[in-house]
Amino acid sequence: MCSLFGVGLAPGTLSMGEAWVRGMGARLTRFSNESELSRVNASAGRWVELSGEMEEVLREALRAYELSAGLVNVAVLPSMEAIGYTRSLSVGPAVAALDRAKPLPRLPEVLEVGRGRARVLPGSAIDLGGIAKGWMADRLCARLGANVLANLGGDLRATGPGPAGDGWPVGVAGVTLMLRDQGAATSSVRKRRWGDLHHLIDPRTGLPSRSGLDEVSVVAETGAQAEVVAKTALLLGPELAPAYCAANALAWWLGESLDD
Amino acid sequence: MRSFVLKAGATLVAVGATVASSLYVTAHLKNPAAPLRPAVLNAGRAGTVSLLGGSVSVGPSVQPGDAQPVTSTYAS
């Protein structure tokens, strides 16, 4: 889902933004064999030529890995498939094969990005997920204008003074925050969930996270950073997340697990 | 004569190493005022943090508002 807001934009600007989002979505989805991401995943160690935008997203994924000390790891696709997330959840998950889930490899060891090309080690595969959404929100704001808010499925970026000059009013964890040139994201295991399984993989186990946190909302300097910090904090759990958020976020909320 | 030269050389090396080591150590004395914890745990990026709504931690660069939000991070 994509929601775009702008002040003082030329007619048609937001429509162009939506078209760009649809085009990028088609290139970054793992659910189509024709997508650019699927070509990279099928590379089996061979170098694959990339568009400039795809190269940017992959480099963003590598930065996310460093910022999160390895907890945000896009080499997660084999685990996603092992838990049954082999297709869009709108058609329901497939049967899980949890015995196939393994701790994730170090991302720099399986994903290599060069100038205009990339390759993935045989046996590994990547899913860009929230990394792509945060990156796209940031790029949209840069493309559309000086006073814009772009929300890509909950990963958002606000630039400029907003509609009334005091920032963009955004709902974060039940309160309204006025964002100016900042990003925000919520990482949650409550939404894309089926039975005991959900989509947020802990790279240390290769299985859905059981950290003691179910939801984390974060405001940061960019949409991409907010996505990474929120996910990292959720995976760290309630003991370590407060210090990590204090060091990396501008605002945050931690939702503890509702499970026993 | 040769043994004397060797002994003198070894002595010079030992003295030189001792002098160099003492110079290095005295230039790197522990500062008693040095913090024991990384700065990140004492004053993070958020600066002074306040609690909003009892549970949302907010730093000084993020302002709360009363306006109806135009969107939220719960959109999926």
| Domain span including residue B1 | 1-29
Q: Which of B73, B74, B76 would best serve as a mutation to test chain A binding (most A beta carbons within 10 A)?
A: B73
Looking at the domain assignment, is residue B56 inside a domain? no
Q: How far apart are CA A179 and CA A166, in angstroms?
A: 8
User: Among all residues of chain A, which has the CA nearest to that of B73?
Assistant: A154
Do residue B41 and residue A153 have CB atoms under 8 angstroms apart?
no
Q: Which of A49, A113, A104 is nearest to A77 (CA)?
A: A104
CB atoms within 10 A of CB A257: 16
Q: Token pair 């890509």 is at which residue? A: A152
Task: Quote the number of domains for chain B.
Answer: 1
Amino acid A71: pLDDT: 95
Pairing of strands A193-194, A182-188: unpaired
Q: Which residues form the domain of A238?
A: 2-256
Residues of chain B positioned with their CB less than 8 A from the CB of A186: 73-74
CA proximity to A48, closest of A125, A120, A122: A120
Determine, yes or no, domain membership for B67: no
The CATH number given to whatever domain includes residue A86 is 3.10.520.10
B23 in contact with A, Cβ within 8 Å: no
Q: Is residue B17 part of a domain?
A: yes
pLDDT, one tens digit for every residue, chain A (260 residues)? 799 999 999 999 999 999 999 999 999 998 899 999 999 999 999 999 999 999 999 999 999 999 999 999 999 999 988 888 877 777 777 777 878 888 999 999 999 999 999 999 999 999 998 899 999 999 999 999 999 999 999 999 999 999 999 999 999 998 999 999 999 999 999 877 777 778 899 999 999 999 999 999 999 999 999 999 999 999 999 999 999 999 999 999 999 887 65
Q: What is the pLDDT of residues B14-69, one digit of tens each?
A: 999 999 998 888 877 666 555 554 444 444 555 667 777 668 999 999 999 999 99
pLDDT of residue A186: 95
| Of A51, A53, A174, A233, the residue nearest B69 (C-alpha) | A174
Residue A5 to residue A1: CA distance in whole angstroms: 14
Stretch (H or E) spanning B9: helix B2-26
In a domain, B16, yes or no: yes
**Residue B54 with chain A: CB contacts under 8 Å:** none
Task: State the distance between the two ends of chain A, measured CA to CA, in whole angstroms.
Answer: 32
Two tokens at A228? 């990474």
Q: Lay out the sheet containing A155-159: strands in order across.
A: A2-6, A148-152, A155-159, A182-188, A213-220, A251-256, B56-58, B50-52
**Closest-approach residue (CA) in chain B for A221:** B61
- Mutation to test the B interface, candidates A157, A177, A188, most B Cβ within 10 Å: A177
Classify residue B37: in a domain, yes or no. no
Contact A249 B45 (CB under 8 A): yes
In this complex, the residue of A149, A166, A253 whose CB is nearest that of residue B56 is A253
pTM above 0.80, yes or no: yes
Q: Would you say residue B9 lies in a domain?
A: yes
Specify the number of domains making up chain A.
1
Quote the minimal CA–CA distance from B28 to chain A in Å.
29
* Cα–Cα distance measured from residue B66 to residue B59, given in angstroms and rounded to the nearest whole number: 17
Name the residue in chain A with its Cα closest to that of B53: A175
Residues of chain A neighbouring B42 (CB-CB closer than 8 A): none
Distance (Å, whole) CA A118 – CA A131: 17
Asked if residues A2 and A151 have their Cβ atoms less than 8 Å apart, the reply is yes
Q: What is the pLDDT of residue A219?
A: 97
Q: Examine residue B61 and state whether it is found in any structural domain, yes or no.
A: no
Would you call B70 and A186 a contact, using CB atoms and an 8 Å cutoff? Answer: no
Q: Are the beta carbons of A172 and B73 separated by less than 8 Å?
A: yes
Chains A, B: CB pairs < 8 Å: 127
B40 to A246: CB separation less than 8 angstroms, yes or no = yes
* B7 part of a folded domain: yes
